[in-house]
Amino acid sequence: MASSADDTVADQDSDAPAHAPRTTSRTEYELGTVIGRGGMGEVLLARDRDLGRDVAIKRMRSSNPSDDAIARFLREAKIQSRLDHPSVVPVHELGHDPEGRPYFVMKRLTGVTLENRLRTDALQPLLHAFTDICRSVAFAHSRGIIHRDLKPANIMLGEYGELYVLDWGLARVLDEADDVAGVADLASADGETRTGEVLGTPGYMAPEQLRDAASAGRPADVYALGTILFEILAGEPLHERGQSALASTLTDIDHSPARRGTREVPPELDALCFAALEPVPENRPSAQSLATDVQAYLDGDRDVAQRRALAADELVKARAALVANHRAEAIRGAGRALALDRHSGAAELVTHLMLELPAGDHPELHASYADADAESVRRHAHSSFIGFAAILAFMPIAIWNGVRDWGVMGPFLALCLVLSALTYGMSRRPYRKSGEMIAYFFLLASAIPLACRFCGPLIVAPCVTCLIAWAALMYPALLRRPFLVVGTILVAWLAMPILEYTGTFSPSWEIAGGQITTWSSTIELDGNSAIAAVFGANIVTIGIACFHGAALARANMLAQRKLVAQAWHLKQLIPA
């Protein structure tokens, strides 16, 4: 039969084989060029003269086909017409040409095959197409039909989102006892079909279909879908082309696209592909399940993929900021990366930034340090103010005993008043320069030699000296200068005993006869009032020590709890 535009295919009833369905004689078609050719048939472009539409006509290639070949050809048309689905090409008419060969008329398709689109399209549109393929196959499975020749060349993609699963010639109907005996199609290396011993296309057939095509069920189509998904993800076929694919199919090869291909494969899709290619048919998911899972990836994990890309970009910027010593920018970038994708690797960077003390100069961090130092100054200045207030409250008892030397008592009282005023001011305005804190410390240390003259250097004075050292080291500016504090304190305490020992000042202590004797050169110590003064001085000293100790312990406890709470929150933030 010629393929010119003037040639026609007309339905003939009289000469049709006995097994042919009844056909009509009203329709004539203008035949065009051959647009597809397979093992048994070929597809021509045609024009339906009556309806004025372009159609496609599939007819048998052989001029003298066998009855079995004709039966299979007609069976393909019936199966295709049985599947009323948007992704299955509708059959308009079934008939016979003047030579008695069957043909069937289908909708004319425009587009390209998935085989061609695999080379050009991005992952997302290919995955969308794949879900449509899976749904089409799932529909066929629900009607008891197994395709058995799914491959990219048998998938047509239109320009407007249409998708069609082609070539149902090897389909198996599960409610039929057997396939037509003696006929099988095998795709050759160039993609055409030829008569052979197995049904299907090497490289896309499931192992069980290769062993026994007649018993291949729904899992065989799922395996073929897995090979298509593998090719989409890995960018290369699962099996080599041609006859070598037969041996490869029966070999336990690595069927993970993430490990086999050169592309980065989402782990979810890698797992789905791996499951669809399970050697044991019963372990494969259904076509509908495969479609649902891939669609779930597209609907939800598509956003995850975008977040992962954004997280990776933020993480790169954060690490670059850390190298450039821009710590604030680094922690913000790492936090954004962690919020976008908790598995991005940002957790380690966040942990490092939060728990490791930074090296180098960080002006923004120093501002936070200054705030923390100011809070420490405020808290400890308040405690010191209470201590000096307690000392001033004790002074009337000391004066009540009688004053021997107002040259010591007067400056001591004045110093306590000044220190009380200073500590009160620091508790109200805690932001102080280091120079101010050092000046305050020297003024505080000057109270030590006065205390030595007040009550002797060997009894109460050492306790007062320790309290002064303790109070000084609570201030961050002085804590950063421990040698200055310790050296000044020791000099201030030793100065008076040495001056007394050398005769510069009158002595207030003596070691003789196995005894240590000390007395006050400033106040009178005699009678009940002296007992009250001594015990009062010790009570005040112990009370101030306990008060300062409690304040320090409370500050340490709060700091520890803050660290514990921070670590706990960080643990909730960082993935396990």
Residues of the chain with pLDDT under 70: 1-27, 175-197, 258, 260-262, 301-306, 355, 357-365, 525, 527, 529-530, 548, 567, 569-576
Residue 215, number of CB atoms within 10 A of its CB: 10
Domain co-membership, 261 together with 390? no
149 as an active site residue: the answer is: yes
Domain co-membership, 384 together with 341? no
The closest alpha carbon to 396, from 407, 405, 409, 383, belongs to 409
d(CA 201, CA 238): 13
Domain co-membership, 382 together with 458? yes
pLDDT of the residue at 330: 85
d(CA 77, CA 73): 7
Helix-strand-coil split of the chain, %, nearest 5:
55, 10, 30
The closest alpha carbon to 150, from 134, 126, 174, belongs to 134
Domain co-membership, 355 together with 379? no
Residue 211 located in a structural domain: yes
Instruction: Write the pLDDT tens digit of every residue in 492-523.
Output: 999 888 888 888 888 888 888 888 888 777 77
d(CA 229, CA 128): 11
How many independent structural domains does the chain possess? 4
d(CA 140, CA 225): 14
The closest alpha carbon to 255, from 302, 200, 207, belongs to 207
Residue 134 located in a structural domain: yes
Domain co-membership, 263 together with 334? no
**Whole-number Cα distances in Å, 260 to 22, 168, 206, 215, 270:** 52, 31, 19, 30, 11
Residue 537 located in a structural domain: yes
d(CA 519, CA 534): 11
Helix axes 327-340, 346-355, angle to 10 degrees: 140
Domain co-membership, 227 together with 337? no
Residue 378 near residue 427 (C-beta atoms within 8 A)? yes
Domain co-membership, 389 together with 531? yes
d(CA 377, CA 167): 85
End position of a domain, from candidates 107, 128, 153: 107
pLDDT of the residue at 355: 67
Token pair listed for 214: 């007649």
- Here the CATH number for the domain that contains residue 48 is 3.30.200.20
Cα distance from N-terminal residue to C-terminal residue, the chain: 72
Domain co-membership, 437 together with 505? yes
Domain co-membership, 46 together with 139? no
Domain co-membership, 417 together with 494? yes
Residue 146 near residue 93 (C-beta atoms within 8 A)? no
d(CA 193, CA 272): 30
End position of a domain, from candidates 321, 341, 360: 360
**Residue 274 structural domain:** 112-285
Residue 267 located in a structural domain: yes
Residue 223 near residue 195 (C-beta atoms within 8 A)? no
Domain co-membership, 177 together with 197? yes
Exactly one of 48, 97, 132, 149 is catalytic; name it: 149
End position of a domain, from candidates 82, 107, 132: 107
Residue 571 located in a structural domain: no
Residue 497 located in a structural domain: yes
Domain co-membership, 15 together with 127? no
Residue 225 located in a structural domain: yes
Residue 294 located in a structural domain: no
pLDDT of the residue at 177: 40
Instruction: Write the pLDDT tens digit of every residue in 163-221.
Output: 999 988 888 888 654 443 333 333 333 333 333 457 888 889 999 998 888 888 999 99
Q: Is the dihedral of CA 151, 153, 154, 158 positive or negative?
A: positive
Phi, psi of 515 (to 5 degrees): -130, 150
pLDDT of the residue at 184: 39
Phi, psi of 88 (to 5 degrees): -115, 125
